[in-house]
Amino acid sequence: MSRATDAHSLYQLLGVSCTASSSDIRAAYLRKALLAHPDKGGSNESFHKVVHAFETLSCLRSRIAYDAQFGTRPARDRVRDPTLSPRTHQVAMSGRQSGNLDWALTWLHRSLDKLQRNERRVALQGLAQPVRVALLAFLERRKPSHVERPTAEKTQTETTALALQDSHALPCDLGRQAPLPHCKKPGMPGPKNKSGCPGVFQDRSGYRAMVFFCNLRMFCGACQSIERAISNHAMLVAVKQMVLETEDHPNATLGNKIRNALDSVCSEREVSTDDLALSYRAKICVAALTGGLTSVDGLVTADLDNALEQRDLLLSGKKDGWHSFREAWIQILTKSRTKTRDRAERFVDSVWAKHAPKRVRREERQRLAEDRRAAREKKQRWCALNRRRPTQSQVVRAVQAVEKCLHADQFRGKRKVDSEHKQH
């Protein structure tokens, strides 16, 4: 798929324009999801793509990132500014032949930059006042624009959560070229196995809607109608969007954000939160910690505070290393009726031992990468010390080029003033 096609693929999947509103995107999703679902004659892959498009375009932050990543044209397709005349374009592209001042200042700046610090100081002190003023103005123009930093302060818990949120809300994962994994329907999951594809999946109780954000899965209760499940999923995506876009303040907690978002969305859709029969489950990525296991899930619970407590416990343990995470994981497993303390310890230790060979291979790859990086840095230091530095004569020639351009500009300005006086 070409880059130009990717730029509008999510909008094309939903059949909406790039300027569509949130309500238009939601209405299009409700139509497209019914057509794409396997139980309605579609396929797992097409349904998953529609869900991915809806979740990306429904969130303002991910939509802006997606548009920014694919909304610009490739360099070969860009059209030159029509206000730029051919003569002006030629002058800008051939600065050296026309004695362009910017080219001369660039030459001088690069020559000075390659000098040692004390040599550069002496050279700058020896510059004539017009050359020094022109160089400072040139460097000021090249200075990058100031990037406005967010002023809102995040609490430590909220910052950790948002940093580990699901990939659908992160700009770096938008518009990826890799094919989307298929939305597989679990065969016959047990009572504790509520896993399934993002969006809408089916277990033996019926269809269920689910979203994942901030290391937390949110499920709706099972229903027999696929239309109802898709509508529930659209509501959960709206809740997710509202939570992620809510500004942080010192008294804001993730639990309060979720409750406020649920109340707002349910009030807008004229639905009671009790009708959704919500349940929650913490989900923490531990691939970097264990070396093989992708994620660890908490216990399914209808109590939001309980799910967030499990989530914070696992995140805190993950931050402190394996031993702390092991204790947190065991503590959560023992809350289940099916696992005692000894059984939970044996299970966690077996997972750790199972992935020991992968950790060894990962550590070996990291060691080799460190060796390559050290060798590369050593080579860069050697090149920096032994690179060819400009001689004083090269700096002098660059200064002379700048002075020549300044004199030419001054002469042209004087001629222009004289011609204006003659006309008057």
Tell me the per-residue pLDDT of 111-149, one tens digit each, with 9 for 90 and over.
888 777 888 888 888 888 888 888 888 888 876 554 444
Q: Does 242 reside within a domain? A: yes
DSSP assigned state of 95: T
Is residue 108 a contact partner of residue 401, using CB atoms and an 8 Å limit? yes
Distance CA 90, CA 98 (A): 10
- 261, 263, 272: which is closest to 237 by C-alpha? 261
| pLDDT value, residue 346 | 92
For residue 233, the tally of other CB atoms under 10 A from its CB is: 26
What contacts 205, CB < 8 A, 6 or more positions away? 222
Is residue 288 a contact partner of residue 296, using CB atoms and an 8 Å limit? no
Question: Would you state the torsion angle of the CA atoms of residues 195, 356, 337, 285, taken in this order, to the nearest 10 degrees?
Answer: -40
Strand partners, 202: 207
- 239, 292, 289: which is closest to 262 by C-alpha? 239
Task: Give the residue numbers spanning the domain of 192.
Answer: 153-358
Distance CA 313, CA 328 (A): 6
- 294, 296, 292: which is closest to 354 by C-alpha? 292
| pLDDT value, residue 9 | 80
In this structure, is the dihedral angle defined by the CA atoms of residues 182, 44, 164 and 355, taken in order, positive or negative?
Answer: negative
Pull the structure tokens for residue 375: 């060798």
Q: Does 405 reside within a domain? A: no
| pLDDT value, residue 258 | 92
User: Position 394: which residue type?
Assistant: Q
Pull the structure tokens for residue 344: 């939970």
Q: Does 60 reside within a domain? A: no
| pLDDT value, residue 367 | 93
| pLDDT value, residue 144 | 58
Distance CA 55, CA 100 (A): 51
Q: Does 277 reside within a domain? A: yes
Q: Does 144 reside within a domain? A: no
At residue 1, the 3 state secondary structure works out as coil
User: Position 312: which residue type?
Assistant: D
Q: Does 324 reside within a domain? A: yes
Distance CA 137, CA 181 (A): 53
* pTM, full prediction: 0.57
Q: Does 370 reside within a domain? A: no
**Helix, strand, coil % in the chain, rounded to nearest 5:** 65, 5, 30
- State the distance between the two ends of the chain, measured CA to CA, in whole angstroms: 65
Low-confidence stretches of the chain (pLDDT beneath 50): 1-5, 7, 72-98, 146-197
331-358 per-position pLDDT tens digit: 999 987 778 889 999 999 999 999 999 9
> How far is CA 357 from its chain centroid?
32
Distance CA 232, CA 211 (A): 10
What contacts 178, CB < 8 A, 6 or more positions away? none
- 137, 10, 2: which is closest to 63 by C-alpha? 10
Q: Does 103 reside within a domain? A: no
Q: What angle do CA 411, 415, 421 make, to 5 degrees?
A: 145
Please list, residue by residue across 46-65, b when 16 or more beta carbons sit within 10 angstroms of its beta carbon and e when fewer do. Answer: bbbbbbbbbbbbbbeebbeb
> How far is CA 169 from its chain centroid?
7
Number of structural domains found in the chain: 1
| pLDDT value, residue 374 | 93
Give whole-number Cα distances, 277 to 32, 218, 238, 256, 272, in Å. 25, 10, 17, 18, 10
Is residue 199 a contact partner of residue 228, using CB atoms and an 8 Å limit? no
User: Position 213: which residue type?
Assistant: F
Distance CA 25, CA 32 (A): 10
